[in-house]
Amino acid sequence: MAAQTRVMLIGSPLTGSLKAGITNTKVPLGLAYLGAVLEEADFSVRILDCLADYHIVQRVSDDTYRVGTSAIGIEQELKVFRPDVVGINCSYSMYEQDSFDVARIVKKIFPETLVVFGGAHSSASPESVLANKDVDVIVHGEAEYTFREIVQTFAKNKKKSALNKIEGTILLDAKGKVKKNEERPFIWSLDELPMPARHLLPMEKYLKHPLNDVGIGKGPATDMITSRGCPQKCSFCSIFTVWKRVWRTRSAKLVVDEMEHLVKEYGVKHIRIQDDNFSLDTKRVADICDDIVARGLDFKWDTPNGIAIWTLDEPLLKKMAKSGYHRASFGIETGCKKTMDQYIHKPIDYDHCKKIITACKKLGIFTVSTFLIGFPDETKEDIQETIDFANDSGLDFSLFYVAQPYAGTPLYDKFKKEGLLRGNQQSNLINPTYDTHHFTGEELQKMQVKAQKNFIRRKIRSMTNPFYSLPWLFYHLRDTNNLHFITKMAKNFLSFKHISFFNKSHIEEYAYDMPDKEQPEQEELTVIQPAKEKNNSEEKISLNVLK
């Protein structure tokens, strides 16, 4: 009986500014984990990741684009599969409406189909999500077992009311009030979970995405997760709304099994570990590195979502480098001690940071860190401390952003309490619109762009100094992968693409044409420029940054 129940998991299209990276499609690991567990339970599963149709970009208004499968395309998929249950990913606060749009399509065609929402935003803002009448139930936090139980229960009696008591769910009670059921305990050993069901996804599309190999040497690259959660308390970070402040892992052996699978099955040459805190257990990291070397696996890896710099030391970095660690992305976030103590709370010692950055350089590991400016009461001097630290740190690259108050975070509460929210909707990391006590959103954005440009200018200048560049090249040019990476980066520097990335007026510069065979066939799926600007012409647009 279970095998007849059809479950469709949908990653919605995204509508927003192209500068926010909405064409930057990556494997939706959350949906793939859910799919794997449902398949194990013998349900018929289909994943529709609308963003895998990243070549379908429709201009909605001046600076707003919709990326992904068209509404008609989604309808067609639904009509073919005829799902009993649809799970819709709603991870991003700023793209909540996109998930609602998908739910509306589902209910329009199949009013009896159960619509389940999940993901970071659904967990952080259940009231906002359940205010939409097309959403039947939310899974709060980790969803594999909760979602499986929802499907099992619904498969038996097809009644929404039967879901009332399922652990880990949030739904409306008979009076229309938001009812949060008991929380489901975490899956303590992630080894219990199967590998994510990548076979349900169009892996070729992700591997061939024009931006897939940005920031790495040789591709193709793909993503994986080896742990869940993070115990830190950064005020701007919303991951605790899904994972709380606990940290759980897959064992080193299973991590390397998955890496081996990616290398052998998909020909992957680079793996991005998307963990929030990969290195909390340094013994596990060392074991993973040793096992990669022992199995003779030939790939590079990095940790683009950040590696906790305070957990690193030179012996561990040596093992990491030996096993193919390509680039360390740190989240140092601020160079201002006051901001660190008030908003970030990471155990960061700036001297240790500089030591680790130097050690990375000597081992041929590239370094980058994110920096945030624009916390509610940061002054110009505070922000300057961050800029100065980034410039003097020895990092190969720094990325500056304006801090964003995501729903559910302490930073959001602070913005709200101090009357700084003012209903700003379109704010994101690249196009911030929130004002603080000292600056407007526009001023902060200007400071961000300036800091970024200055960092790059200084870097280019230091690369023309042989006392800096020759040792740097000596350490980094140890393998062909690094040579490949440096050549790519040099091309970008010379074409100044990195600078334009932060400049709103340059979007069109990055237009690229997808290969003809990738172009959509139906009229509804083409990219449409507004008549006033493009003289009624149709045109293919997409974004190509730091390629």
Residues that bind ligand SF4 (CB under 6 A): 230, 232, 234, 237, 239, 276-277, 306, 331
The listed partner (ligand SF4, ligand B12, none) that binds 279, CB under 5 to 8 Å by sort, is none
Stretch that binds ligand B12, among 58-66, 82-90, 499-507, 515-523 (CB under 6 A): 82-90
Which residues lie below 8 Å from residue 8, measured CB to CB, with a gap of 6+?
Answer: 45, 46, 47, 48, 77, 78, 81, 83, 85, 86, 87
- In angstroms, what is the minimal distance from the CB of 350 to ligand SF4? 17
Taking the complex as a whole, the smallest distance from the CB of residue 275 to ligand SF4 amounts, in Å, to 9
Pairing of strands 57-61, 64-67: antiparallel
Residue 269 near residue 221 (C-beta atoms within 8 A): yes
**Contact code string over 13-32 relative to ligand B12, x by CB under 6 A:** -------xxx-x-x-xxxx-
Helix (H) or strand (E) holding 64: strand 64-67
Binding partner at 332 among ligand B12, ligand SF4, none, C-beta below 5 to 8 Å by kind:
none
Q: Please give the DSSP secondary-structure letter assigned to residue 528.
A: B
Which of ligand B12, ligand SF4, none interacts with 429 (beta carbon under 5 to 8 A by kind)?
ligand B12
**Considering beta carbons, is residue 39 or 290 the nearer one to ligand B12?**
39
Is 58 or 409 the residue whose CB approaches ligand SF4 more closely? 409
Touching ligand B12, residues 215-244 (CB under 6 A): 225, 237-239, 242
Ordered alpha helix ranges (H), 41-87: 71-81
In the list 35, 73, 87, 335, the residue contacting ligand B12 (rule: CB under 6 A) is 87
- Identity at 193, one-letter amino acid code: L
The SS3 call for residue 524 is helix
Q: Say how far apart CA 122 and CA 87 lie, in whole Å.
A: 12
Q: Residue 406 binds which entry of ligand SF4, ligand B12, none, with Cβ cut-offs from 5 to 8 Å by kind? A: ligand B12
Site for ligand B12 in 137-176 (CB under 6 A): 139, 142-144, 147
Binding at 277: pick from ligand SF4, ligand B12, none (beta carbon under 5-8 Å per type):
ligand SF4
- Check: CB of residue 402 under 8 Å from CB of residue 445: yes
**C-alpha closest to that of 37 among 136, 142, 119, 154:** 142
Q: Which amino acid is residue 64, in one-letter code?
A: T
Do residues 167 and 182 lie in contact, with contact meaning Cβ atoms separated by under 8 Å? yes
Q: Say whether 391 sits in a helix, a strand or coil.
A: helix
> Which alpha helices (H) appear in 396-530, and where do they start and end?
410-417, 441-463, 466-476, 480-495, 497-500
CB of 345 to ligand SF4, least distance (A): 8
User: Does residue 74 interact with ligand B12 by CB under 6 A?
Assistant: no
Q: Report the residue number, 45 or 340, with the smaller CB distance to ligand SF4.
A: 340
Q: Pattern of binders to ligand B12 over 414-453, x per CB under 6 A?
A: --------------xx------------------------
Q: What is the largest CA-CA distance in the chain?
A: 73
Between CA 334 and CA 389 the distance in angstroms is 8
Cα separation, 54 vs 109, whole angstroms: 25
Select from ligand SF4, ligand B12, none the partner in contact with residue 113, using the beta carbon and a kind-dependent cut-off of 5 to 8 Å.
none
Interaction mask 490-509, ligand B12, x per CB under 6 A? --------------------
Whole-number Å distance between alpha carbons of 428 and 405: 9
3-state secondary structure of 97: helix
Residue 96 contacts ligand B12 per CB under 6 A: no
Range in contact with ligand B12 (rule: CB under 6 A) among 135-143, 308-316, 419-427, 501-509: 135-143
Asked whether 367 and 361 are in contact (CB, 8 A), the reply is yes
* Interactions with ligand B12, residue window 294-323 (CB under 6 A): 305
Distance CA 99, CA 11 (A): 8
- How near is the Cβ of 493 to ligand B12 at its closest, in Å? 23
Binding site for ligand B12 (CB under 6 A): 20-22, 24, 26, 28-31, 33-34, 87-89, 91-93, 116-121, 124, 139, 142-144, 147, 225, 237-239, 242, 274, 276, 305, 406-407, 428-429
